[in-house]
Structure 1
Amino acid sequence: MHHDHGGHHEDFDEFYAGGPQWSGNPNEALVHEASDLTPGRVLDIGAGEGADAVWLAEHGWQVTALEPVAAAVERGRELAARRGVDKQITFEAATLSEFLAGAGGQSFDLICAFYFPAPVPDGEVRALAELLAPGGTLLWVDHDWEGQRPGRMNPAAMESLLEGLTARSELRRSIRDVSHGAGAHHHEDLILRAER
């Protein structure tokens, strides 16, 4: 798994080996979009160091946090334990492909991904949509790269692949205000919110 940041590629194991990388705060788009949802089961794809998973657990969600990098998973587990929500979060040290291969029978009221750094094949998009419970919400957010990062699964591409699989979807731009952490230099996001 590689991290595409600032115009160059880094190995994610190497990226996380240098110590904490993110602000430790939940993503603004998550707080804004999920605050009005009734807590249930959530799949947090690319959970990183666990800030979103912890926020979700603190707000009543039962979280499956998916993150393939062992160092990031360990930081997420430590954060969850410090905040007293480790019983509400299951950290899965796996890629999205690995998780989907064994995810049969599960369903989630919310599936969210923030700044997912890789493409998602059509078949995996369909599998993700099938994991969404009736009435559930899929939230897919990325920086507005303006076509500069074709290897990423951007929200517009995800929306087109979901066509016919969700009841309705909305794609919009959002200004973000982040002052520290590895993503602080990005100031605008694209947000896809789709409902089954």
Structure 2
Amino acid sequence: MHDDHGGRHGNFDDFYAGGHQWSGNPNEALIREASELTPGRVLDIGAGEGADAVWLAERGWRVTAVEPATAAVERARELAGQRGVDKQITFEVALLSDYLAASGEETFDLICAFFFPAPVSAEETDALLRLLKPGGTLLWVDHDWEDRRPERMNPATMESLIAGRMSSMDLRHSTRDVTHGAGAHHHEDIILRAVR
């Protein structure tokens, strides 16, 4: 199956228009990678329907969740309200490029992106790194696609863009066990974890 979760043509609203798309659970890689981090400020890029943002907020993080699809953000806000963490999450309905162009001096202890369905330019990567505090963690995860997906931001591509500018980088494969939602047919991910 060759889904791109709405990203190939930028039809994010169309993708989410038909109802819930994801399992409603936080990503397994987020739980594994972030559980031992000290909560601070986190930028969740491509936040979708908010499961990751809510999970982070429930653990004490102050979350900025960026997502271009209005329908997805409405579901994320509803979920955050149901779980009592809506005051800890700032939702931004925006493309990453627009958010970066408008971002101020705020910096983050964690920047994470899961299955981001669009390329990220070198300039946008530079802007992201400026938002990451010294000692902060960048977590970039995508499926291990069988074919090249130039319309997506592969963790290995991100690694090449930030090489030499981080204190540590770890790129590895990880299995996943998701039984429902639009990503259930993917069983292997690539995880980039880098510390500035």
TM-score band w.r.t. shorter chain: over 0.9
Unaligned runs of 5+ in 1: none
Q: Deviations over 1:46-72 (max 9, x none)?
A: 000000000000000000000010000
Name the amino acid aligned to 2:140.
W
Alignment partners' CA distance in 2, 1:148 and 1:165: 26
TM-score when normalising by structure 2: 0.95
Name the amino acid aligned to 1:185.
H
Alignment partners' CA distance in 1, 2:105 and 2:15: 34
| Conserved 8 A contact 1:46-1:114 | yes
Unaligned runs of 5+ in 2: none
Name the amino acid aligned to 1:93.
V
Name the amino acid aligned to 2:52.
D
Q: CA RMSD in A?
A: 1.5
Q: Give the structure 2 partner of residue 188 of structure 1.
A: 188
Pairs aligned (count): 193
Runs of 4+ with deviation above 3 angstroms: none
2:115 maps to 1:115 = yes
Give the alignment of 1:27-106 within 5 angstroms: 27-106=27-106
Task: Give the drift of 1:28.
Answer: 0.1
Alignment partners' CA distance in 2, 1:103 and 1:158: 21
Aligned identity (percent) is 73
TM-score when normalising by structure 1: 0.95
Q: Deviations over 1:77-103 (max 9, x none)?
A: 000000000000000001100110111
| Conserved 8 A contact 1:110-1:137 | yes
| Conserved 8 A contact 1:137-1:193 | yes
